[in-house]
Every structure is written in structure tokens, then in C-alpha cells.
Amino acid sequence: MTGFVSFVSSGPGDPELLTLKAARRLAEAEVVLFDDLSAGPILSHVSAGAELVAVGKRAGKPSPKQDHVSRLLVDHALTGQRVVRLKSGDSGIFGRLEEEITALREAGVPFEIVPGVPSACAAAAAAGIPLTRRLTARRVQFVTGADVTGGLPEGLNWAALADAEATTVVFMGKRTFPVLVAQLIAHGLPPDTPAMLAESVGHADQRLTRSTIAALATTLAEGPGAQPGLILYGPLAGDDA
């Protein structure tokens, strides 16, 4: 007997930003494998009898390997259970979704994907700004600031990332932002380009810090802090709410 896996996107952490479908899948689940950033109030939507399995990954901390997480998904589903794989933000954005889908397909396990509010969109909303503006911010791009080693990824498109007329969102980039900024400036992006650090978006300790790319790089070089965060830079990042 084969069960079913729902990849549920929890949004940035505020349970009020869950979709109705996401809340329903959590209530129906018999097993929930959740990430660190999807814990807390989000899990209040899970039924009392469901099994909760923490499988989150955090930079610099012991974390389960991806193949172990994929194996857990398959094993639970093959017992016939309704399984939810709970991911923060939108699961399709830097969420290792494809690797877990591949494991399910190879095992013949059916699944669905429930989209959610991306943390980049939630951060912009919290700051009271749009991600685009006619003529001056005509493009939005998402980039990861860390590869599997934790360092800045190789082969980045520097011309695109240094585009002064784009809104760029850097995920998982607090530790590598100083190195990134040095390259951005070398490729022509002005040091006074507006930047915003959005930490713990959607949580009670949410903090938004407006700066410039150069000043924020200096701050983060002194210590990135423990709060999860993303960075927006471009013409809109400095606008006040």
C-alpha cells in the first residue's frame, strides 16, 4: 500500500499567510517532516495524533543529510500514510524540492506540490515596498548566496547581478555578502546602491535593516548573526514604508 506526499509551502512563518490548501493538508497529515523555519505556530495546524519529524537544515549546525530526508519521505509513504513535507517560503525556491521529488518518483510514490508565499515577497510586503517599479526596477532576480560548501557559488552572472535597474534578492547570503559585494562593485554596481537585510520575516522577532550594499557588507563582515535572513538590493530597497 502506497501513501501520498504533499509538499506544503508554509510561507515565511506567519501562520496567517498559509494558503487554505496548506492548512487543510497539515490537518489531514499523519506524518509531517518539517524544516526549522516551518516550525512554531505553523505546526498548530497539525492534528494531535500526527507524527512530527524535524529534518531542518541550518548553516553551521548539525543537520540531516538530504539523502536521509528523502529516504524518510519514501519510507513513510510506503507504509500508506498521508505525509506532509513542510518547507518554508515557497518550496520551489532554493528548497531542495527536486531531489525529494526524484526520490519519490523512483519509488513510485505519488505527490503534489502546494505553493506558498515566497519569503522575498513577504519581506518586500513587510517593508511596504514592491519588488518592481516601471522604468527603474524592471526585473526581479533570485540568487543563492551559498553553495553546498557554504561559500559563494561559482559561475555567477556578474553582469546580471550588477544590474542597477534590477531588484536582486539574495537567499542564504548573510555570510557571503561581503565577498559578493566586492565583486558587484568591481563589476560596476555603485557602493551606495540601496540594500535591505530582512531577518526572521513573518516571525515575532522580524527585523528590517535598510542600508547600502557597501555599508551592509561591512556590518555583516563583523558578524552575520544567528537569525535567518535574506538581502534585497536595488533601487527599491531603500524606500521607507
- Residue 94 sits in a domain of what CATH number? 3.40.1010.10
| Residues 27 and 43 grouped into a single domain | yes
- Contact between 121 and 71 under an 8 Å Cβ cutoff? The reply is no
64/216: higher pLDDT? 216
pLDDT of residue 115: 97
**36 is annotated as an active-site residue:** no
Q: Which amino acid is at 21?
A: K
Q: Of the residues 35, 87, 163, 174, which is catalytic?
A: 35
3-state secondary structure 24-76: HHHHHCCEEEECHHHCHHHHHHCCCCCEEEECCCCCCCCCCCHHHHHHHHHHH
Residues 201-228 have pLDDT tens digits of 988 899 999 999 999 999 999 988 888 9
Domain containing 219 — which CATH number? Answer: 3.30.950.10
Q: Exposure string (b/e) for 126-165, b if CB count within 10 Å is 16 or more?
A: bbebebeeeeebeebeebebbeeeeebeeebeeeebbbee
| Residues 104 and 17 grouped into a single domain | yes
- 138 in a domain, yes or no? yes
pTM of the predicted model as reported, rounded to 2 decimal places: 0.90
pLDDT of residue 61: 55
Residue range of the domain that includes 157? 119-233
pLDDT of residue 226: 86
Q: Which amino acid is at 59?
A: A
- 240 in a domain, yes or no? no
Q: How much is the average pLDDT of 138-156?
A: 93
Q: Residue 128 contacts by C-beta under 8 Å, 6 or more apart in sequence?
A: 239, 240, 241
How far apart, in whole angstroms, are the C-alpha atoms of residue 218 and residue 73? 41
Q: Is residue 155 predicted with pLDDT exceeding 90?
A: yes
DSSP class of 16: G
| Residues 223 and 145 grouped into a single domain | yes
**65 is annotated as an active-site residue:** no
- 241 in a domain, yes or no? no
Q: Residue 217 contacts by C-beta under 8 Å, 6 or more apart in sequence?
A: 177, 178, 180, 181, 182
- 239 in a domain, yes or no? no
How far apart, in whole angstroms, are the C-alpha atoms of residue 171 and residue 121? 12
| Residues 204 and 102 grouped into a single domain | no
Backbone phi and psi for residue 144, each to the nearest 5 degrees, phi listed first? -90, 140
C-alpha cell at 137: 526596477
Number of domains forming the structure of the chain:
2
| Residues 206 and 105 grouped into a single domain | no
C-alpha cell at 35: 524544516
Q: Of the residues 21, 36, 57, 239, which is catalytic?
A: 57
